[in-house]
Amino acid sequence: MVLRRRAGSFANKLNLAGLICAAGGASIALLLGAAPAAAQTSGQVFTNPPRLQERGAAQRSFLEAARLAPSGRRDFDLTITYTDNKIWNPATQRFDKVHLRSYTGDGVNPDAPFVAPVIEVRPGQTISVTLRNKLPADPSCTAHGQAVNTPHCFNGTNLHSHGLWVSPSGNSDNVLLSINPGVSFEYIYNLPPDHPAGTFWYHSHRHGSTALQVSSGMAGALIVRGDRMPTPSTTGDIDVILKNADLTALEDRTLVLQQIQYACLDASGNVKVKFDPPNSQNIVAWVCDPNDVGVVEQYNYPNGVGFGPGSWEQSARYTTINGLVRPVFQARAGLPERWRLIHGGVRDTITFGFRKRKPNAPVITALAASEAARFIEENCTGDLLPYRQIAADGLTMGQARAVPTSTLQPGYRYDALVVFPEAGDYCVVNESAPAGGSVSRQPTTRQLLGMVEVGPGTPVTNTTGALQDLLSAVALRILPADVRDKVAGELRDGLKFTSFIPHPDIAPGEVTGKQELVFFIKIPPVTFGVGNKAIDPRNFNPNDPSQFNPLPYDPNRIDRVLKLGGVDEWTLQSGFVSHPFHIHVNPFQIVSITDPSGKDVSLPGAVDNAGGTVDPQYPGLKGVWKDTLWIKDLIENPADFPSKLATSMYTIKVRTRYQRYIGEFVLHCHILDHEDQGMMQNVEIQIPDGAGGLAARHH
Ligand SMILES: [Cu+2]
């Protein structure tokens, strides 16, 4: 069992596999216990993404570094270049060469560069990120008169700090800038001292190239760490109680999940594909020959494939975790871990869970995406392992939510507490999602995301009880006397975190106004738009512009003017297929999610099955704060609009406060190729004038 130690276990297994071949081996196979996980995975061991090193960090003395924490200025450099490297392909059991735009910076792993480095900061810090665009020249960035909602300027970029509560203006989180090739720009984020600690992320957000760049892997974690203790009148950071019994920090894993949708091109610039049956037009995979180099260079290639719905499944590529395909995680039985799940991809819905792998499962050398569902059926036979979500989109929830899976739509984050109850291998699975719950608009097949090797530890049968005991004991030992009993009691009572939530509930009486939003795709021609008037599906005239007028993005139009200090209730809908809504700057609290029959499926224990298949993503979200949320509509066929609206459309209510920050920013669909093609609006928060109006237009 020495062979199952954490470090180097893979190398040992691979060596043993060689021995088994040489010796023909039954007796040696017994040494392994279970069959090795390596064969179904890349064999690459999971590590957290590298931490972006500060400029001059190597030269800085310990005393200087200490002086900078916890507040102070942090200087980072991020450079964007083309990077030549490789991505593991489980179907062919070889690495595909790729040539992709990527973030580089001090600390990036040269063997796994297709995840951006983690930026780790603390509340109250001033964060300077100098973005250096070293991509080749791109005349489409400066051409005038072209259609703004046609993808363009693929080498132009900018930087978005997704979820951070900072100014959207000037050189802060301003996504209305274009940092063109050859240009450097210094972003400065003044993270306020009262900013929540949590899991955020960053990515490029230049309208016209956002999907292409994010699909190349240009995304990274942005983690705000905090050590504020709760007091009787203020809430603290959940980080302070996430500790082991010896008060060391829990294992803290950061997973940036991405869909890097590279294509290998033939001499005509067409994506190389595999047809099944061979003489059909049914594409079942994008393929690469051994000397090919995969690229992400077009939204639509000449042979008609590109970023459209279902394209991720068609490509048969693999979700990467920190740039690795099917990595292996190493854990210990009974030891709680914090998993920060970040959906940094574009074209897939991830239903993230764990299933115990049956012992002595056969070794399978190549496992294509199309074979993963059968592999899971036959080998990952355990029930879904319950685990607990503790934060949504970086914001600590009022109570941990026990879930069998977490549905991650593009842009989502969930922080989870995971306890593997016993030793053995656990499959990390992406369970199937129903058509209406999935970016692909079709039921997805199960995929294998990785494998967890759980070594011997202290087995637990009641993981809820173990977590309640641990965290309440930690609270009693470390928290101030005036809050510790209350906090410990709430932790013992179902892991309630009321002393750690960053935002108080928004009561109905606090609401001062309303906003309405409808996403829509008009066909033909395909036109992406957003409307400002909610639909009553039972009394609806699509030809009446006072009822329905979705407009494509116009950079010169402010679609909504919002009042600083105001509190709006938003009604969110989609008229055709589902879209993840994301708004910058201020998060929102979910009030209700009603299905077409009027049932509120955000309630804990609700069953969302309006599409005929149970969709686990909404139940339990009532009251949760987020910055990105799936807006569901079951219409998949354009001919069904508007006749089937009444049986297809969900209506979602959320509330939000416009606090502290003014200026112009955006809301948009986080299927980023929809955003690039016009599913976005400009919104502006202005200062009240003291007389019921807004002061920003004064002269
Ligand atoms: Cu969309």
* 348 CA from centroid of ligand 1 (Å): 12
Question: Helix, strand, or coil here: 470?
Answer: helix
pLDDT classification of 146: cutoffs 50, 70, 90: confident
pLDDT classification of 110: cutoffs 50, 70, 90: confident
* 667 CA from centroid of ligand 1 (Å): 12
Least confident stretch, 108-112, 118-122, 280-284:
108-112
* 669 CA from centroid of ligand 1 (Å): 5
Q: How far lies 636's CA from each of 243, 440, 629, in Å?
A: 46, 11, 19
Phi/psi of residue 411, nearest 5 degrees = 95, -20
Q: Tell me the C-alpha distance between 193 and 562, whole Å.
A: 25
Q: Does the pLDDT value for residue 267 go beyond 60?
A: yes
Tens of pLDDT, residues 55-71: 877 666 666 665 555 56
* 199 CA from centroid of ligand 1 (Å): 24
pLDDT classification of 364: cutoffs 50, 70, 90: confident
* 161 CA from centroid of ligand 1 (Å): 20
Q: Does the pLDDT value for residue 584 go beyond 50?
A: yes
pLDDT score of 485: 98
Residues 290-313 have a mean pLDDT of 94
* 338 CA from centroid of ligand 1 (Å): 31
Q: How far lies 59's CA from each of 29, 54, 76, 128, in Å?
A: 50, 10, 14, 18
Q: Where are the beta strands (DSSP E) in 90-224?
A: 94-104, 119-121, 125-133, 160-162, 184-190, 198-203, 219-224
pLDDT score of 62: 60
* 326 CA from centroid of ligand 1 (Å): 28
Q: How far lies 507's CA from each of 77, 400, 638, in Å?
A: 42, 22, 38
* 433 CA from centroid of ligand 1 (Å): 17
Q: Specify the residue for token string 């190549």.
A: 366
* 411 CA from centroid of ligand 1 (Å): 12
* 671 CA from centroid of ligand 1 (Å): 5
* 73 CA from centroid of ligand 1 (Å): 37
Q: Tell me the C-alpha distance between 130 and 79, whole Å.
A: 8
* 420 CA from centroid of ligand 1 (Å): 36
Is 699 or 208 the better-scoring residue by pLDDT? 208
* 578 CA from centroid of ligand 1 (Å): 7
- Residue partners of 48: CB distance under 8 A and separation at least 6: 118, 252, 253, 254, 322
* 527 CA from centroid of ligand 1 (Å): 11
Q: Does the pLDDT value for residue 333 go beyond 50?
A: yes
* 518 CA from centroid of ligand 1 (Å): 11
* 400 CA from centroid of ligand 1 (Å): 30
Residue 602: name the closest of 578, 574, 625, 582 by CA. Answer: 625
Q: Tell me the C-alpha distance between 426 and 34, whole Å.
A: 12
Q: Does the pLDDT value for residue 654 go beyond 60?
A: yes
* 335 CA from centroid of ligand 1 (Å): 40
Number of helices (H), then strands (E), in the chain:
10, 34
* 577 CA from centroid of ligand 1 (Å): 8
Residue 386: name the closest of 409, 336, 420, 335 by CA. Answer: 420
* 321 CA from centroid of ligand 1 (Å): 24
* 439 CA from centroid of ligand 1 (Å): 9
- Concatenate the DSSP letters of all residues of 65-99 into one string: HHHHSSSEEEEEEEEEEEEEEEEEETTTTEEEEEE
